[in-house]
Structure 1
């Protein structure tokens, strides 16, 4: 996807500018509830981002006043792409996995409500910026459903088992401040500052050393399932790759020249 490109109007908008790919769930009239078509488009955009060197950070957000109210179980738009229902489930799971494993940092920008699958989309991102009036709910139990879209894996890792059970079993709606106190939101900002604040975070991520950030993200994601000995071994392997790559040369040159590093120049030299 070329820089400054914007996808045509549709249920998912994609805008790439200065290394920041902004993906916008675009059904504001339905509080951005996700249809099968949207899951497929989001998965495809994330797949593209894994191999696009022009993408240095991803921002996931919703159009209008709401991030995402969850999966739209009443709208079958796009179901013709999934003659077997298990194919849709696989696409949804791939989307969550891609957000977690994407080799660039991901940021969820949340306003309004993030519920069910919508909240888990945000939790699958590396960082979450929420407007102070945002609200969050693991709504599944209210619909006689069990957790999906990664909630059973994400929640206990972020808040511990007991709080995860409280959020999932009671399906309480919580505010941005409580979500932040539980470790489910990284920053809370005033609604009028949400766009500017999130863009500033994305700019910082997009200007960072891509290989080092990708490896750091992977090390942290996998660290909970590794022993200390295993973690040290994988850290050593990652650091060896950094020491042999062009980014570290740019980092040292920038330090010597007393300037900010320009990792796009290092990438061009590859």
Structure 2
């Protein structure tokens, strides 16, 4: 069904693997469309409760495949047609999305990682705001997510200087969630994704929705949204299961309902 990505579902986790290893998983038009379609598939499948995005080979994603653009390419149109719909799709999904960064994340590849909810990286991964090196500005949601994750000053530094940073430095500035030793990579990512899939994902979805909206809301609006969300999850099967498990001193069995 897909040619530039791999799509697999295991234990209620959707695995989306960027699969152009000879190009360091750089984006061409087909890959952008296929990633978006895979995200849509994962979003509408009620059995899927978490999503992992990773790369084949030695890179996560090196950004836009510059060999696929022409001298007269309208980058604004390229964003509106391909990248922006992909990033909006990610933002609309009320399931946890994990970037499993197995190598270089550069340019739009870094933007893709920033749009995820969690970012786990191998110890040898690297991160670079590569746009400035070809005279461009960060895009694909980069200028929205980056300052919210690392702060305004650090975001400016990364975007303007365009210096490569290591996984350890990325962890220190809050860019990634965890650095994973290479020998523990597959086991750790699988455990992390499956742990999220077993959590009360209905509550996770509402946390994502209203925390994202909080940036454009005042305190009263946030208080109202919290009350609305709490009413919904307070009537959920997962809440009843959580209370019952707590009272009976056992581990809860959440189903995302």
Shorter-chain TM-score bucket reads over 0.9
Partner of 1:121: 112
Question: Do the aligned partners of residues 178 and 87 (structure 1) sit closer, same or farther apart at CA in structure 2, a change above 3 Å counting?
Answer: closer
Match of 2:230 among 230, 239, 244: 239
Aligned length: 252
| Partner residue, 1:181 | 172
- Contact conserved, 2:99 with 2:119, CA < 8 A, in 1? yes
Match of 1:140 among 106, 131, 135: 131
| Distance change >3 Å, CA 209–CA 231, structure 1 → 2 | same
Gaps of 5+ in 2: 70-75
Quote the offset at 1:156 in angstroms.
1.1
Alpha carbon RMSD of aligned pairs, Å? 1.8
- Distance in 1 (CA, whole Å) between partners of 2:103 and 2:121 is 9
Q: Distance in 1 between matches of 2:10 and 2:223?
A: 36
Aligned to 2:73: none
The CA distance in 1 between the partners of 2:81 and 2:23, in whole Å, is: 24
Instruction: Show the 5 A alignment for 1:66-215.
Output: 66-75=59-68, 86=77, 89-215=80-206
Which one of 47, 51, 56 corresponds to residue 58 of structure 1? 51
C-alpha contact 1:129 1:194 (8 A) present in aligned 2: no
1:124-144 superposed Cα distances (whole Å, 9 cap, x missing partner): 000000111110000001011
Provide structure 1 residue ranges, at least 5 long, that are not aligned to the other structure: 1-6, 77-84
- Show CA shifts across 1:74-94 (max 9, x none): 137xxxxxxxx8376333111
What TM-score does the superposition give when structure 1 sets the normalisation length? 0.88
Q: Is this contact kept in 2: 1:111–1:130, CA < 8 A? A: yes
Structure 1 partner of 2:14: 21
Structure 2: distance between partners of 1:33 and 1:219: 32
User: With structure 2 as the length reference, what TM-score do the two structures score?
Assistant: 0.92
Distance 2:87 2:189 in 1: 21
> Which deviations, in whole Å up to 9, do the C-alpha atoms of 1:136-192 show, x marking residues without a partner?
000001011111111111111111221111111111100011111111111011122
Match of 1:74, SS state, is helix
**3-state SS, counterpart of residue 211 of structure 2:** helix
- Distance between the aligned counterparts of 2:92 and 2:166, measured in 1? 28
